[in-house]
Structure formats: structure tokens, C-alpha cells
Amino acid sequence: MKKSDVLWSARFSKPIADSTLQFSSSIDLDKHLYREDITGSIAHVQMLAAKKLLTQKEAQRIRKGLLEIQRELEKGTLKLSWRQEDIHTAVEKRLIQKIGQLGGKLHTARSRNDQVSLDERLYLRKSIDEIHLAIRQLQRALLRASRKYLGTLMPGYTHLQHAQPVLLSHHLLAYISMLQRDDERLRDCRNRLNRSPLGAGALAGTSLPIDRKDVARRLQFDGIAENSLDAVSDRDYVIEFAAASSILAMHLSRLSEELVLWSTREFGFLKIDDAYATGSSMLPQKKNPDVAELVRGKTGRVYGNLMNLLTIMKALPLTYNRDMQEDKFPMLDTTNTVRSCLTILAEMLSHSSFNVEELEGRARSD
């Protein structure tokens, strides 16, 4: 690796070792933030032009180059390597290749510290909106089942023992209430994270006459992160997202546990559609509720991501520390895991049926 290939190499007398660069590279994870990175960069460039730190012509050339890079990444024609260190560096280097040294002006009045926080906030804002839709999808599946089996009795339980008869619809609606609280927690998290950190720089802003509120408006933030030190060192928004997701995953696990129990021969309350179950290579009579079991299992993964984030941040002094790079995996994994669990449970419930005769027979047997 040549010394000149690294953005921060000016004060160093030796180039970084390949082993060090490969160990510290985050591009395998933050490549998933390329859309957010480019969106934020375009807003930043437009602000620089508005403040006459770039000419309109320069800003237009940079914007055009960034959009071309986005298309290259979407098509897979731009290959990324650990040698590029992170997505911010990869985009900037490709921009310089496309439009010359003008591409270096993209970094004017900006650090990777405030840039990565911006990318994460944009990513989580979008992800929470997607999870909101997935929650609604599962709530609708539960509501459809409640309406379909309206009036059907079942035994209500405490201590997993028969307590008193309840309606199946009432039981299913309990999960709609849980999911509603989950959705509200995530929306609260979205409100708090919706502040732009851009302009905080490495930690203490810039002497250039930028307009932080202009960038925030362009990116549809509710405002700016006021304190620059906090803006670059804050990961509360990722931790809060992981905490809300952990409670959501716990609710999905409770639902999954009941679906597993209800589908057993001992209960006989639920028939899971064959498309959402598996068999045994050795025991052909078996029908396994693997979807529900996997959702139940993945809950531990979501909990682990929360503990990962808390442990990363628990003793970090202000401001940015490289430890914080490790927040990408738990953030991305939690998003994907929760969204996929919600989606598959909604599908499975929509294609499953309840055994009314068995439910009502058990409810009336006490």
C-alpha cells in the first residue's frame, strides 16, 4: 500500500502495513451504507455550493459523478476491496478517478467521524420505516386470524395450566398489543436519532462558514446534533434501536413458542402449512415447526447484538474511538434479523389454520 493511497497519511513517514489495513478495514460491512453515504455527500456538496465554498458548476460535476458511482455499485460493476478501507474512502477515490482532483473537494469541511454517524442515522431511519411496515404486516395477519376464528373458545393459561376459557381472538389480539408497543418504541427511537451530525467534523467542527441546518433540511432531519463532541461520539441511537429490537424479538419469541406448542400432537391447536415446516430425514412421520423455532432462536442473536453494542461503548472517553467501527455488524444484523422474522411469521400465520374442535373441546373440558 502506497502512503499516498491513504487519506490520512500526510504526517506519516512509512506506509501502513497491508496486515494493519486489512485488519482495520470496515468496507465489508459499511459497503451496505453506500446509498446513505452518497445521499449525504450530495446534500453536503449542495450546501458547500450554496455557501460559495464550491461553484455551482463544481457541485454539479461532483453530484453527477456520485450518482454514476451509485449506479456502478448497484449494478456491481464497481468492485470494492479491503484496500479501500471504508465506503467513504472508496467513493471519494472513485470520484477522483472519474472527475479528477475536483473529487477531493468532496471532503471539504467534513470528517469520516461525522460522516459515518450521518450514514448510520440515515440507514436506521429507513430501516425503522421498513420494520414499521413489517410489524403492520404481522399485526394484519393476527387480526385476520382473529376475525376468521371470532367466537372460538380456547383454554386460557397461567403457569401453563388451564385457568379459564378465553376467546382465541382475544389471545391473538394480545400479540397485536405487544407489537403496537414495539412500533411505538421504534418510532420514538426514530424521532431521537433524526438529528444531523454533519458539520461536527472530527470532533470540534470547522472554521469554514458551512450551514449545518441547511444540510439537515436537505436530508429531512428534524434538526442538528448541537454538541459537536457528542455528535461524533454518540451511538445511543444504535443502542436504543437494538434495545427496542430486543423487546420486539422477545415478543416474537413468545409468539413462536406458543406456535410450537400449539402445533404439537399433545396440544393439537394449530396446523402449520407444509410450506412453512420441515421434515426429518430419519423420521418421516415428523413435521417440524422450524420457522417458529428459528425465530425463537434468533432472539438470542438480537439480544447478543445489544450486549455487543453496550460493551463496545461502556468505557470510551470522548470523542471518537476506533472501537466504534465495530457497531456496524450488530446494527446491520439486528435490522436484517428482525425484519426477516416479522415477515416470515406473518406469512406462516396467514397460511396456518386452527383446530376449532380441539380448542373448544379443551376449553369446555374443565
Per annotation, catalytic residue among 159, 207, 281, 365: 159
Inter-residue contact 106 to 37 (CB < 8 Å): no
State the DSSP string of 7-56: TT-TT-SSPPPHHHHHHH--HHHHGGGHHHHHHHHHHHHHHHHHTTSS-H
Measuring CA to CA, how many Å separate 191 from each of 127, 184, 326? 13, 11, 24
Tally Cβ neighbours within 10 Å of residue 159.
6
Inter-residue contact 178 to 172 (CB < 8 Å): no
Per annotation, catalytic residue among 24, 81, 177, 280: 280
Residues written for the chain:
366
Q: CA–CA separation, 50 vs 239, rounded Å?
A: 35
Q: Is 299 exposed, middle or buried (0-12, 13-18, 19+ CB in 10 A)?
A: buried
Q: Is 351 exposed, middle or buried (0-12, 13-18, 19+ CB in 10 A)?
A: middle
Task: Give every CB contact of residue 269 below 8 A, 6+ residues apart in sequence.
Answer: 154, 262, 263, 354, 355, 358, 359, 362
Active site (annotated) includes residue 280: yes
Instruction: Report DSSP state, residue 155.
Output: E
SS3 label, residue 151: coil
Q: CA–CA separation, 97 vs 20, rounded Å?
A: 25
Residues with a catalytic annotation lie at: 159, 280
